[in-house]
Structure formats: C-alpha cells, structure tokens
C-alpha cells in the first residue's frame, strides 16, 4: 500500500473553479495519491463557490460532509478554499472549527504547506503552475482560462468582490498552454474567463479576436468559446470565429434578460432589439451558429410585461441552449438593497414558464436532426450495457445536450453517427461504419474538424 497521503478535491461551481482545483492537484504532484472519494482520502480540499445561494448551500454541505468524514478517521484533515471561503473566511472558521484551514482564491501554496506536504511552501511561475495542472475531468476535454476577475460590476454579482478586477494572462502563455494540452491528448479546448470578450484590455488592447484566430490554427479539433459579454460581441469577434479553422460556431452569450428596463437595473447595456441584432449578426457571419445563454428571472422590479417580452423574444430570436436561474440576493451588491424584491414563489413560477418554452423549442430543434449524419465526441462508455454518451459540436460538456449511442465506443474518440430519435435535451443515434455524408468543414449539421 502506498505511503503517500490520499488527496480528494471536491469542486463546487463553475469551470473556472475546476481549473483552480486542477492547479492545486498538479502542484501537489507526486507527493500525493489522487483519490475519487472523500472516504478514500487522508486530505480533503473543498473548493467552494459563493456566486448564488444554491452554490453557497452546496459548498457548505460539501464542507459539512468532509467534516463528518474527518470524524470517522483519526488524522484525516479538511481544508476549504475558493470564492465562498474568501468571502466568509472568518465566519467559516468560527462556525465550523473542525476545518483545518480556510483559504481564499488561488492560495495554493498555503493549502499545501498547511497540509504538511514537503516542498509545497513556494509556487513556481504562473505558466508552470498552469502546465502542471492535473486534469480532473475527462482527459480529452480541458479548459483554457484566459483571464480572471471581471470589470463589468453588474448590480447582482458578487464576483468582482471575490475574484477582483479582470487580469488577462499573457498572450504567448495561453498559446503555449494550449499547445501543451494538445500534446497531452486534449481534443476539445474550452476557452473560459469571467467574460472572455474583454481579453487583453487590461494589458492595453482588446485581443480576443487575435487570440481566437491563433488558437484556431492549433491541432485541436474542437475549440469552444464560453462566457462572452453580449455588449462586447461585435462583427470583428464574429469574423474571428468564422476564420479560425478549429473554433466551433458556438458561443456562450449570457444575456441575463432581454428587457431594457431590467437590464438597466442590472447595470447591463442593451435591450431586446440590440440583442436580437447581435444574434442575427453572429448567425449571418457563422451560418448555423449555436448560441447558449443564461437568464435571470425574478430580478427586483421585474414585472409580468418584462417576462412576456422575454418569452416573445425566445420565439422570434430563439436561443439554441438556455439555462434559467431565479435571482439570488447577494450581500454587498447594489441589488441586494433594491426595495422591489420579487417573491421567491413568483420567481420560481416565471422560471418554470421560461423553461417550458425552451423545452418546446429544444424538442423541435432536436427532432429536426433526426436522420442527419455527423461526427460526435464520446465522453463516457458503459461497456456492460454497450452504451456510449457523446456530444455533437453544438453541445458543451456537462451543460448541454447529450447523444446516446447504442454501441460501446472509446471515450475521447470521434465517431460517425446517424440520429434516430430525439427528446427535449437528448438524442439517440446509431454508429455508422463509414464517413458521415456531407462537407467535413464547419457549419450546421456537419463535423467541424478540418481533415
């Protein structure tokens, strides 16, 4: 049996948090054994999220579960890091004294040092930290974090208080890391930041289009862009996506709402007309463009007319993928003090209506794919059942639709399929023994890999 301590990292929240967990695990390196469950661990690290109430609750639940496991095994240690613990460091220390250490965002060296791992007192240069990342998700799909923090200061959002102002990573470092990930077998690269469309502005000039073009030349079949800021998405950005061979015609475009009145109270620019125009432009420049968005309902001052405006917008300017959330009042944000708060029950009812509309639109779009042939990327396989779970180029890992293939396939491989059935969020497909029919370039219904 190995004498190395077992390390379990529990990540709550978004992909940006996952990157932090991967950096911590990579810095721990060969001094530990990474394990898949807290029960197997000597050291448990809970990487928390403090974005909304649901994430905070999930984070605290994970900490309490880890503390319970600590009580079951003498010598087991529990450490808490991330956004929530940066925001509520002293409260966690006071209310959960069983925790062995509480740290903020990126305090990797302190966590590892206090965990008793020799040689962990210092951290190498940033690029080396990123290169040491231990991928904790599927080995074929990885995230490239191009910046951290945010300058937008939406009235509902506590992220600037936890992550600070936007800090862009050096351009060449990003290309170097992307090449390194390609060399490790990554076939899908997900470009992330609090919002990627302002990349480089803190360094003197917006360089997101240039970065997209350069990344699109790398030998990575699928490159996906996540978390843009709609007012910053212009034709130059759309053209960069179109001109980059490996960049998918897919954009995470979180509008949060479409009513100009609600957006103004959120301190966000735009309205239904401007958002529809940007979406129309994206699809004109990139035929078949898949647009994912997120919506907040129940924001203070939201009225029925604003909800109806959103539902109407979804009909004439539909989103391909949509997540909807009830407004979460966050301490120390402007909207927390707004007087016209919407009752939670009413917000939940609005959420239900928006999701029902999106399910209707999604089912129709999926049914239109039945009979179409294309390549999909396999994420998981159940060899005993002979079933594989895959995704089309239209779908991001863990948040979008999935494709069930009635054949055991190798995870991380691209396989040709024909769609045979469809539900609101999932498709069923049969594996083909030949190339899919159609152009192998980027575009609607075809595999965007350059061959």
Mean pLDDT, range 148-154, rounded to an integer: 91
- Of 117 and 91, the structure prediction assigns the larger pLDDT to 91
What pLDDT shows up at residue 125? 75
What pLDDT shows up at residue 441? 46
Closest CA to 207 of 246, 166, 245: 166
Find the helix packing angle between 208-215 and 235-243, rounded to 10°. Answer: 10
Query: What is the rounded CA–CA span in Å between residue 230 and residue 232?
Result: 5
Contact 448, 248 (CB under 8 A): yes
Look at residue 446 and tell me whether its pLDDT is greater than 50. no
Mean pLDDT, range 140-155, rounded to an integer: 94
Instruction: Classify the phi-psi angles of 106: left when phi > 0, otherwise alpha if psi is within -120 to 50, otherwise beta.
Output: left
**What are the tens digits of pLDDT across the range 269-291?**
999 999 999 999 999 999 999 99
Name the band, by pLDDT with cuts 50, 70 and 90, for residue 118. low
Look at residue 351 and tell me whether its pLDDT is greater than 50. yes
Name the band, by pLDDT with cuts 50, 70 and 90, for residue 53. confident
Mean pLDDT, range 107-119, rounded to an integer: 84
Look at residue 55 and tell me whether its pLDDT is greater than 90. no
- Of 447 and 107, the structure prediction assigns the larger pLDDT to 107
Which range is least confidently modeled, 84-88, 166-170, 262-266, 291-295?
84-88
Look at residue 354 and tell me whether its pLDDT is greater than 90. yes
Max avg pLDDT among 85-89, 154-158, 346-350, 371-375? 346-350
Topology (CATH) of 6-114: Rossmann fold (3.40.50)
**Per-residue DSSP letters for 130-149?**
HHT----S-TTEEEEE-EES
Topology (CATH) of 373-431: OB fold (Dihydrolipoamide Acetyltransferase, E2P) (2.40.50)
Cα dihedral 258, 264, 265, 268 in deg (nearest 10): 80
* Burial of 175 (C-beta count, 10 Å sphere; 0-12/13-18/19+): middle
Q: How many CB atoms lie within 10 A of CB 317?
A: 18
Number of residues in the chain: 451
Look at residue 159 and tell me whether its pLDDT is greater than 70. yes
For residue 306, what are the contacts with CB-CB under 8 A and spacing of at least 6? Answer: 257, 259, 261, 262
Mean pLDDT, range 336-346, rounded to an integer: 95
Q: How many CB atoms lie within 10 A of CB 182?
A: 16
Mean pLDDT, range 75-98, rounded to an integer: 92
**What are the tens digits of pLDDT across the range 213-241?**
999 999 999 999 999 999 999 999 999 99
Closest CA to 84 of 54, 112, 105: 105
Q: 126-367 domain in CATH 3.30.1950.10?
A: no
What pLDDT shows up at residue 119? 61
Instruction: Classify the phi-psi angles of 332: left when phi > 0, otherwise alpha if psi is within -120 to 50, otherwise beta.
Output: left
Query: What is the rounded CA–CA span in Å between residue 142 and residue 175?
Result: 14
* Beta-strand relationship, 188-192 and 141-145: parallel
Query: What is the rounded CA–CA span in Å between residue 231 and residue 253?
Result: 10
Look at residue 439 and tell me whether its pLDDT is greater than 90. no
Three-class DSSP category at 408: coil
Query: What is the rounded CA–CA span in Å between residue 78 and residue 45?
Result: 6
What pLDDT shows up at residue 126? 76
Query: What is the rounded CA–CA span in Å between residue 121 and residue 115?
Result: 10
Name the band, by pLDDT with cuts 50, 70 and 90, for residue 134. very high
Closest CA to 13 of 59, 45, 44: 59
Domain boundaries, the chain: 6-114, 126-367, 373-431
What pLDDT shows up at residue 94? 93
Query: What is the rounded CA–CA span in Å between residue 364 and residue 350?
Result: 22
What pLDDT shows up at residue 450? 37
What pLDDT shows up at residue 445? 45
| 272 Cα distance to chain centroid | 25
Closest CA to 187 of 419, 434, 411, 418: 411
Task: Give, in order, the Cα–Cα distances in Å from 238 to each of 46, 180, 218, 331.
Answer: 38, 26, 19, 36
What pLDDT shows up at residue 14? 85
């Amino acid at each position: 049996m190995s004498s190395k301590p077992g390390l379990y990292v529990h990540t709550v929240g978004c992909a940006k948090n996952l990157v932090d967990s991967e950096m911590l695990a990579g810095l721990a390196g060969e001094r530990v054994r990474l394990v898949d469950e807290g029960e197997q661990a000597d050291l448990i690290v809970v990487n928390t999220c403090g974005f909304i109430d649901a994430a905070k609750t999930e984070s605290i639940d994970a900490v309490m579960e880890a503390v319970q496991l600590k009580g079951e095994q003498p010598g087991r240690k529990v450490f808490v890091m991330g956004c929530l613990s940066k925001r509520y460091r002293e409260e966690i220390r006071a209310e959960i004294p069983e925790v062995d250490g509480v740290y903020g965002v990126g305090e990797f060296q302190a966590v590892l040092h206090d965990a008793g791992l020799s040689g962990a007192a210092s951290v190498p240069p940033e690029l080396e930290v990123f290169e040491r990342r231990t991928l904790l998700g599927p080995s074929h799909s990885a995230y490239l974090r191009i910046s951290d923090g945010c300058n937008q200061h939406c009235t509902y959002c506590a992220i600037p208080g936890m992550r600070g102002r936007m800090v862009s990573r050096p351009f060449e470092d990003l290309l170097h890391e992307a090449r390194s990930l390609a060399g490790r077998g990554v076939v899908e690269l997900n470009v992330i930041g609090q919002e990627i469309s302002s990349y480089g502005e803190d360094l003197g000039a917006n360089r997101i289009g240039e970065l997209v073009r350069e990344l699109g030349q790398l030998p990575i079949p699928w490159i996906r862009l996540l978390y843009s800021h709609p007012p910053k998405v212009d034709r130059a950005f759309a053209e960069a996506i179109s001109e980059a061979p490996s960049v998918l015609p897919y954009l995470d475009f979180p509008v949060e709402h479409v009513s100009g009145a609600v957006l103004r109270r959120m301190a966000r620019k735009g309205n239904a007309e401007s958002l529809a125009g940007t979406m129309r432009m994206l699809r004109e420049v990139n035929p078949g463009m898949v647009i994912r968005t997120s919506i907040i309902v129940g924001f203070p001052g939201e009225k029925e007319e604003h909800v109806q405006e959103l539902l109407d917008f979804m009909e004439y300017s539909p989103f391909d993928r949509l997540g909807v959330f009830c407004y979460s009042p966050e301490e120390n944000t402007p909207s927390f003090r707004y007087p016209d708060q919407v009752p939670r029950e009413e917000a939940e009812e609005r959420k239900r209506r928006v999701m029902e509309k999106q399910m209707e639109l999604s089912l129709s779009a999926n049914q239109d794919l039945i009979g179409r042939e294309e390549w999909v990327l396999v994420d998981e396989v159940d060899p005993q059942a002979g079933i594989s779970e895959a995704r089309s180029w239209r779908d991001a890992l863990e948040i979008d639709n999935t494709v069930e293939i009635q054949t055991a396939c190798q995870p991380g491989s691209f396989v040709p399929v024909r769609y045979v059935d469809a539900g609101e969020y999932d498709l069923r497909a049969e594996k083909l023994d030949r190339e899919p029919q159609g152009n192998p370039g980027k575009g609607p219904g075809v595999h965007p890999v350059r061959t």
